[in-house]
Amino acid sequence: MSRVRPGAASREGALPYYLRKVRRHVEWARTEGVARLVEEDRLDPRARARTAVRKAAWRRANHRGPGTARAVYVVGLQRSGTNMLLRGIDEAPEVEVRNENDRRVFDRFRLRGDEVLGETVRASRHAVVLVKPLCETHRVGELLDLTGAASRAVWVHRDPVDRARSEVSKFGSSNLQALRLVAAGEGARTWQGGGLSEDSLAVLRSFDLDAMTPHTAAVFFWVLRNRLFFELGLDRRADVMALCYDRFVGDPEGQMQRLCAFIGLDYRSAFCAHVERRESHGRATLDIDPAVMALARGLASRLAEVS
């Protein structure tokens, strides 16, 4: 009887995932340009090395002990500008950034577990540990409670149509596929269905997903995931702040100062030096189902009020 080496099965199962990941990056480089891919995913080893050196120097100079760092969670929906935000804050040497591709804390963009997260925050010798658990956005209240009263969360949201355009450009019909899976009752085993209320599920099932376009699905997905901000009562928590990407790119200095005041950092102009000040995208209007668009605009207005 043949014997399988320990871990061989898991590695074989992981192989298709990594092949798909490589293919996605090749396609993104082709359609969006290598420079943009390198910038967004922080793939330049020189920039990463410079950042690591600055942070190591800060640790040596400040002698902070384990258990003194404050956790800050950046949550929301993918393609809402969270990478831009982390790239800016990563300029602060007193901040330890744990993005969703950090293998110590994440496995395929999901947190490895509350124990790993808690140990990482407690072991840090920085002032702030910035974590981006987008796939656990629906658990942000639990994560805040896990890491203590000093923890903070920033819920980043973006115009639903602009976000849909970006989502479909990079991930195709993935949101539509996720909606169909959730509507079929399989949402419990996916992050896309995590935390959705019975009311949200009822709204989802009232639409004909077979006839829905990828762009309409991306807007609908924006609605379902951003409804959680209010359904979870995060609008009533003093340790959670809503941050609008569109306002951020219109006034990067002002919005970054607001963010720094909330999470307890001294503002520096370097935090937003990489942000190109601009208005919201002015490209051609997408053909979105009017009923879905009405849901999105209503929710966007509520988010604007608390942002």
pTM of the model: 0.85
- What is the structure's pLDDT at 4? 32
Kindly report the number of other CB atoms within 10 A of residue 228's CB atom.
24
For residues 132 and 107, give the distance between their C-alpha atoms in angstroms, rounded to a whole number: 13
* pLDDT surpassing 90 at residue 178: yes
Beta strands in 196-296 (DSSP E): 240-244
Q: Quick: pLDDT tens for 188-207.
A: 889 999 999 999 999 999 99
- What is the structure's pLDDT at 285? 83
- The domains of the chain are located at 66-156+253-270, 158-237+277-307
Is 66-156+253-270 CATH 3.40.1410.10? no
> What mean pLDDT is reported for the chain?
89
Backbone angles phi, psi at 227, to 5 degrees: -60, -25
Q: Quick: pLDDT tens for 206-236.
A: 999 999 999 999 999 999 999 999 999 999 9
Distances (CA, A) of 241 to 182, 187, 237, 238: 28, 27, 8, 8
- What is the structure's pLDDT at 58? 97
Residue whose C-alpha is closest to residue 86's, from 41, 38, 44: 41
